[in-house]
């Protein structure tokens, strides 16, 4: 409703359509998500992250030959320049997302297309960033632990190679599939806060690296990508399943939020969450740590009354337990979200460029007017 001055505020831009898109459809009322028309359920269960990146950035699901060529290029682009590794060493004590943000920014200096904002060059840069970002995250984790970074292994898939570089040993097929599904689920999600941030940067005709750096910054917050880590922190505080109900009641009675629940767009269950639910349970059983899934299940039970308000689990709720069980450090959970989302940020920048208009909303001014300027020497 317009206020007394005839202005209708849309705080948080909630419910505002910014533009049209051909890449991501979300129906928040029924919990439906499509990437370029394909249902996330099919993509998560039947495709690979490499296929999904091709779908998002090259606009089609590839045939075998196309996928082989595309995948070869991604594998080839995994290494990062030695000066970027050196920068990572210099800032190794910072949060992994700060290190990722810094290293992506530094990569711009070594990208041959850095000044070219054409659609073709932007896609090339986005694919190089997609390929190199896992190397940054893995190298940082090893350097801060006093270990040598592991060279990318061109014989492994994108997901498998990431785990290999992180732990220095080849992951099992199950572990690779878990990581692959997780990357697919996080690859794109419309005008979410970080993609919108990337679009704002692109709308000034700035470049992809700047947009992705800004996207990493927006993703870092606990209301967006930080929730998976907070869910795990919460689970560790709860400690054992029988404490979960009381913990949730205390938190909610005191106006707190159960992390991993709620979403600006989904008023039904986030369709990505189910793909991680069963996998979290199976992995917990396989690792002899079923308690994490049980704690999460109790929390879900405690949150049942909130379903009437449209608050359901989101993608982050089960993701944290999977990363934890894969031995990924808690502070690196958000970085994994970022690794999956780089194709999505690139896609949003490409769409923004393809019919660009500067994004520049208004603010309703409510401060004082026409105050008399008092010179510094006369102020008390």
Nearer to ligand ACO, 147 or 223 (CB): 223
Find the catalytic residue in 189, 263, 275, 298.
263
Minimum Å distance from CB 270 to ligand ACO?
Answer: 7
Q: Which residue has the CB atom at the shortest distance from ligand ACO?
A: 262
Nearer to ligand ACO, 84 or 299 (CB): 299
SS3 85: helix
* 322 lies in the site for ligand ACO, by CB under 6 A: no
Minimum Å distance from CB 264 to ligand ACO?
Answer: 4
Residue 263 annotated among the catalytic residues of the structure: yes
Total residues contacting ligand ACO (rule CB under 6 A)? Answer: 16
**What token pair was written down for 6?**
């005839």
* 315 lies in the site for ligand ACO, by CB under 6 A: yes
Nearer to ligand ACO, 314 or 348 (CB): 314
Query: Which residue from 181, 240, 189, 154 is spatially nearest to 23, judged by alpha carbons?
Result: 189
Nearer to ligand ACO, 50 or 316 (CB): 316
Nearby residues of 290 by Cβ (< 8 Å), 6 or more positions away: 281, 284
91 to 120, contacts with ligand ACO by CB under 6 A? none
Query: Which residue from 353, 335, 338, 333 is spatially nearest to 194, judged by alpha carbons?
Result: 338
* 41 lies in the site for ligand ACO, by CB under 6 A: no
* 292 lies in the site for ligand ACO, by CB under 6 A: no
Interface stretch with ligand ACO, choices 43-51, 103-111, 220-228, 288-296 (CB under 6 A): 220-228
Minimum Å distance from CB 205 to ligand ACO?
Answer: 28
Minimum Å distance from CB 28 to ligand ACO?
Answer: 10
* DSSP label at residue 34: E
Interface with ligand ACO (CB under 6 A), residue from 316, 322, 325, 347 = 316
Cα distances (Å, whole numbers) of residue 60 to 31, 37, 54, 211, 341: 24, 10, 7, 24, 18
Find the catalytic residue in 113, 141, 180, 316.
316
Q: What is the 3-state secondary structure (H, E, C) of 153-215?
A: CCCCCHHHHHHHHHHCCCCCHHHHHHHHHHHHHHCCCCCCHHHHHHHHHHHCCCCHHHHHHHH
* 31 lies in the site for ligand ACO, by CB under 6 A: no
User: Could you give the CA distance from residue 88 to residue 360 in angstroms, rounded to a whole number?
Assistant: 35
Q: How many CB atoms lie within 10 A of CB 132?
A: 23
Q: Which residues of 346-378 are buried (b: 16+ CB within 10 A; e: fewer)?
A: bbbbbbbbeeeeeeeeeeeeeeeeeeeeeeeee
Binding mask 225-264 for ligand ACO (x = CB under 6 A): --x-----------------------------xxxxxxxx
Binding mask 258-277 for ligand ACO (x = CB under 6 A): xxxxxxx-------------
Minimum Å distance from CB 37 to ligand ACO?
Answer: 22
* 323 lies in the site for ligand ACO, by CB under 6 A: no
* 344 lies in the site for ligand ACO, by CB under 6 A: no
From the DSSP assignment, how many helices (H) and strands (E) are in the chain?
16, 3
Nearby residues of 62 by Cβ (< 8 Å), 6 or more positions away: 51, 54, 55, 70
Nearer to ligand ACO, 138 or 336 (CB): 336
Nearer to ligand ACO, 171 or 260 (CB): 260
* 286 lies in the site for ligand ACO, by CB under 6 A: no
SS3 75: helix
Interface stretch with ligand ACO, choices 67-75, 171-179, 223-231, 273-281 (CB under 6 A): 223-231
**What token pair was written down for 189?**
């999600």
Cα distances (Å, whole numbers) of residue 146 to 50, 89, 104, 143, 155: 31, 10, 22, 5, 26
**What token pair was written down for 345?**
């940020």
* 312 lies in the site for ligand ACO, by CB under 6 A: no
Per-residue DSSP letters for 38-49? Answer: EEHHHHHHH--H
* 314 lies in the site for ligand ACO, by CB under 6 A: yes
Catalytic residues, by residue number, are 263, 316
> What does the binding site for ligand ACO look like in residue numbers (CB under 6 A)?
223-224, 227, 257-264, 309, 311, 314-316
């Amino acid at each position: 409703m317009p206020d007394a001055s005839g202005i209708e505020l849309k705080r948080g831009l909630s419910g505002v359509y910014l533009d049209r898109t051909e890449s991501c459809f979300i129906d928040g009322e029924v919990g439906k998500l499509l990437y370029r028309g394909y249902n996330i359920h099919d993509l998560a269960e039947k495709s690979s992250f490499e296929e999904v990146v091709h779908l998002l950035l090259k606009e089609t699901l590839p045939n075998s030959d196309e996928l082989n060529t595309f995948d070869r290029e991604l594998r080839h682009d995994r290494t990062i320049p030695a000066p970027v590794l050196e920068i990572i060493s210099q800032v190794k004590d910072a949060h992994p997302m700060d290190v990722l943000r810094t290293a992506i920014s530094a990569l711009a200096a070594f990208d041959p297309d850095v000044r070219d904002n054409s659609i073709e060059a932007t896609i090339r840069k986005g694919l190089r960033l997609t390929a190199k970002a896992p190397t940054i995250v893995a190298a940082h984790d090893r350097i801060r632990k006093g270990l040598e970074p592991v060279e990318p292994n061109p014989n492994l898939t994108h997901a498998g190679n990431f785990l290999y570089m992180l732990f220095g040993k080849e992951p099992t097929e199950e572990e690779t599939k878990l990581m692959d599904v997780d990357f697919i689920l996080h690859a794109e999600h419309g005008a979410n806060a970080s993609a919108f941030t990337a679009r704002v940067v692109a709308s000034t005709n700035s470049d992809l690296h700047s947009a992705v750096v800004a996207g990493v910054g927006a993703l870092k917050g606990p209301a967006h990508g930080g929730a998976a880590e907070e869910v795990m922190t919460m689970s560790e505080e709860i400690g054992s399943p029988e404490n979960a109900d009381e913990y949730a009641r205390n938190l909610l009675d005191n106006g707190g939020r159960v992390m991993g629940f709620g979403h600006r767009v989904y008023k039904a269950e986030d369709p990505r969450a189910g793909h991680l639910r069963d996998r979290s349970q199976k992995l917990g059983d396989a690792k002899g740590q079923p308690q994490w899934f049980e704690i999460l299940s109790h929390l879900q039970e405690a949150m049942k009354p909130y379903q009437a308000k449209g608050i359901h689990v989101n993608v982050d709720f089960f993701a944290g337990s999977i990363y934890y069980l894969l031995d990924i450090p808690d502070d690196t959970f958000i970085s994994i979200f970022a690794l999956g989302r780089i194709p999505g940020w690139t896609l949003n920048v490409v769409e923004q460029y393809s019919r660009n208009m500067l994004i520049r909303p208004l603010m309703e001014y409510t401060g004082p007017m026409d105050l008399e300027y008092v010179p510094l020497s006369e102020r008390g």
